[in-house]
Amino acid sequence: DPIPDSRLYIHFPFCENICHFCGFNAVKMRDAAQVERYLAALKKEMRLVAGRVRKMRFNQLCMGGGTPSLLTPRQFRELFSEIYSCFALNKESRTFGIEIECHPDSLTLEKVKAMAECGITHVALGIQSLDSKVLALNGRLQDSRRVHEMYKAVLDSGIPNVAAEMMCGLKGQTEAGYLKDIG
């Protein structure tokens, strides 16, 4: 029997830039080789863990970080192939979902297509703010002009759920500015 409400979390610790407000286990990505080494180690760890959780069926898979959307389309496909071979996902569960955290600047149409092909059902688009001054004060690098394009690309991809994540209480943010961001 599946364990009720079981979840599997995959961590991708790399970001192009570490925002001042970040409290997550994240490091600045140095180069592509660093990511490849991490993915090789992650796949090895998944195979080790898989042996201990053979009887479990996971209702949800969450992938956060860092910025998992820094993965290339090939890396997404290879990683999800390994996930599917190592773990049983309970797609019949009413709470089933595969969620990924994304930075709008790291997305491309090819990556969104690969995520849809991999079975991702929820994209959390970490926008945080649309105010360039607030973003700069908080060490956030983001081209806010791309946000709407990437939001639409996710919607058009067939991925059924997309969330626009906005932050309240950022340095330099006013109540009026926050309301404008979410309006």
What sign has the CA pseudo-torsion 18, 140, 155, 7?
A: positive
- Confirm if 132 and 158 have CB atoms less than 8 A apart: no
What does the pLDDT profile of the chain (183 residues) look like in tens digits?
555 568 999 999 999 998 889 888 899 999 999 999 999 999 999 999 999 998 889 999 999 999 999 999 999 999 999 999 999 999 988 889 999 999 999 999 999 999 999 999 999 999 999 999 999 999 998 998 889 999 999 999 999 999 999 999 999 999 999 999 998
Residue 1: what pLDDT? 55
pLDDT, residue 108, reads 96
DSSP helix/strand/coil, 17 = coil
Q: Note whether 88 and 58 are within 8 A (CB).
A: yes
Output the DSSP codes for 18-63: --TT--SS-EE---HHHHHHHHHHHHHHHHHHHTT-TT-EESEEEE
Angstrom distance (rounded) from CA 7 to CA 97: 10
Q: What is the pTM of this model?
A: 0.90
CB 22 within 8 Å of CB 171? no
For residues 99 and 77, give the distance between their C-alpha atoms in angstroms, rounded to a whole number. 15
Q: Give the pLDDT score at 86.
A: 97
CB–CB of 126/86 below 8 Å? no
